[in-house]
Amino acid sequence: MINISNSTSKNNPSWLLEAPADPDQPTRPSGSAGTREAASSRPAADAAGGHALSAVTVVGRLLLSWLAALPGRLGDWLFAANDTEAYWNDWQITKTRGGLGRSYRDPRFDLLAECPKCHGAGGPAKLPCPPCLGTGRITLGEG
């Protein structure tokens, strides 16, 4: 004989005893009778724990991003005066070592080139090279 109604409540499927699963949560396979009671209390605990876990994750990510930006903010504070002076002089500012170091460069150095006549030697001391006046370099863009 096949018992369709299962009125004796043996081998009842656990999905009838549980609350509906969240759409993002995978469904759990039904277990034995001892795990049914624990399984029936899990969805409510998982739902509450899932929201608490996401809040903890958000707070953790905020804390980590704040800590990751800390060296950059410290470097900005330490080099504020130097950065301001470099800005006034139109220098290039490069942050190094994760924001804890600075490199400053005057872009006017891009206009200097080796003298094509003396090849950077500047000529003898008594007769300096006329185009570079003995310095061994010329300024590009001068006509």
Domain ranges of the chain: 30-105, 106-143
DSSP state string for 42-102: HHHHHHHHHHHHHHHHHHHHHHHHHHHHHHHHHHHHHTHHHHHHHHHTT-EEEEEGGGTEE
The answer, as to whether pTM is greater than 0.75, is no
How high does pLDDT run on average in the chain?
A: 76
Does residue 27 register a pLDDT over 80? no
- Position 85 scores a pLDDT of 95
Q: How far is CA 95 from CA 76, 92, 99, 100, 126, in A?
A: 9, 10, 5, 7, 45
Higher pLDDT pick, 70 / 50? 70
Percentage of residues of the chain with pLDDT beyond 90: 29
